[in-house]
Amino acid sequence: MHILQALLCVSLVAAPGWSSPPTKGELIKRTVKTIINIAEITLEHIKKVRTKLPVAPQIEVSTPSIDGLTSITHDLALLDNELQSPFTELLSQIQADVSSLEGRVRSFAETMDCPIQAKPQGQTRDNSFPDSHHHETLMKVKLYLDNLILHKDKLKVC
């Protein structure tokens, strides 16, 4: 009986792919997939929040281009700061998502030895029209995440 158990253990340990740690390429692939999953979940949260807001006004926003991990980290930190406004309580789940995403990208960028800037300080904004501010902020985050998903290959470069 002990011999059978020993043979089973040896065969499991010697099984191809089970005993070796993942390669750097596999780790990059997994991390990119995780980042994209968080972005997709955040987009779903945005859809839910937008149904709770009054009808969206026509707002045009622009988002920075997706250049690589360094710029993505910076841009997500800026969006995170904007979502932390006291007038964005309704957006707390999206803020938590973006903060998590920024942290994941920042950690990945550090692992990839990319130059990372310090997190930018939050700025206070005049929020005389909180609903418009909510729509504008949600649109910025949505467009940026849509663009990030579209250009996910940029998550592999600094």
Residue 84: alpha-carbon gap to chain centroid: 16
More confident residue, 149 or 138: 149
Smallest CA-to-CA distance from 117 within 70, 79, 68 is with 70
pLDDT over 70 at 57, yes or no: no
Q: Are 115 and 65 in contact (CB under 8 A)?
A: no
Helices marked H in the chain: 2-14, 24-52, 69-83, 92-111, 130-150
Count of beta carbons in the 10 Å neighbourhood of residue 110: 13
pLDDT over 90 at 124, yes or no: no
For a pLDDT cut of 70, what percent of the chain falls above it? Answer: 73
Count of beta carbons in the 10 Å neighbourhood of residue 108: 21
Look at residue 6 in the predicted model and tell me its pLDDT.
Answer: 44
Contacts of 43 (CB under 8 A, 6+ apart): 142, 145, 146
pLDDT over 50 at 12, yes or no: no
What mean pLDDT comes out for the span 90-119? 90
For the entire predicted model, the pTM comes to 0.76
Look at residue 43 in the predicted model and tell me its pLDDT.
Answer: 94
pLDDT over 50 at 7, yes or no: no
How many Cα neighbours within 13 Å face the side chain of 109? 23
The string of pLDDT tens digits covering residues 70-99 is 999 999 999 998 888 666 567 788 999 999
